């Protein structure tokens, strides 16, 4: 990942534009791949598995924030993440119904693949959240009005980059 120069140090306009394009492209890639896994997995697994596993992104965000954002690991949070992930496995597989020939699973013969795909998406969504915090948030002390404008600019840029990328892909 491209890292910004030290805060407070003057950068040329071309450096700012280059950094912005690289940052937005990285965020767009992480978000697009994470979201695409939902669409890939939706027909492969059950709705409850899909929802439970995809919503683990927040747990992975905490796991990524320790090495990337240099947050200090706290035992209570680490234990909470472990318990939550175990809970997701219980929701997904607690019924013990993994036999593909049972009536509930006959329509979902690739359930395990759907769960793996959505699991990858969940990890990527957690990574996206941490990357956004590290690369696309204004510095501490920025006024709420400027933060709002900045957040809307980043979100619009991600949308624009996605649209341009998809147009290139489709055409």
pLDDT (average), residues 113-136? 91
- pLDDT at position 102 is 60
Confidence band (pLDDT; 50, 70, 90) for 2? very low
Which residues are CB-neighbours of 85 under 8 A, at least 6 positions away? 56, 59
DSSP structure string for 85-107: HHHHHHHHHTT----TTSTTTTT
pLDDT-based confidence at residue 98 (cuts at 50, 70, 90): low
Give the pLDDT of residue 99: 58
Q: Is pLDDT above 60 for 66?
A: yes
Mean pLDDT across the chain: 83
Span of 17-21, 36-40, 77-81, 167-171 with lowest mean pLDDT: 167-171
Taking every pair of Cα atoms in the chain, the longest distance, rounded to a whole number of angstroms, is: 64
Residue of higher predicted confidence among 67 and 48 = 67
Contact 102, 167 (CB under 8 A): no
CA-based angle 51:57:47, to the nearest 5?
Answer: 10
98 neighbors 105 (Cβ within 8 angstroms): yes
Segment 100-110, tens digit of pLDDT: 556 555 666 78
Residue 128's pLDDT band (cuts 50, 70, 90): very high
Q: What is the pTM of this model?
A: 0.77
């Amino acid at each position: 990942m491209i890292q910004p120069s030290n805060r407070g140090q003057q950068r040329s306009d071309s450096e700012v534009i280059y950094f912005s394009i690289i940052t937005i492209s990285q965020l767009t890639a992480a978000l697009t791949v994470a979201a695409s896994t939902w669409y890939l997995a939706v027909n492969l697994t059950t709705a409850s598995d899909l929802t439970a596993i995809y919503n683990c992104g927040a747990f992975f965000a905490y796991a990524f924030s320790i090495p990337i954002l240099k947050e200090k690991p706290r035992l209570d949070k680490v234990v909470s993440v472990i318990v939550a992930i175990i809970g997701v496995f219980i929701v997904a597989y607690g019924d013990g119904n993994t036999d593909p020939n049972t009536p509930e699973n006959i329509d979902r013969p690739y359930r395990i693949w759907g769960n793996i795909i959505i699991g990858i998406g969940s990890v990527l969504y957690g990574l996206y959240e941490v990357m956004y915090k590290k690369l696309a948030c204004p510095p501490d002390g920025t006024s709420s009005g400027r933060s709002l404008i900045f957040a809307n600019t980043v979100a619009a840029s991600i949308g624009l980059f996605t649209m341009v990328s998809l147009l290139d892909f489709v055409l």
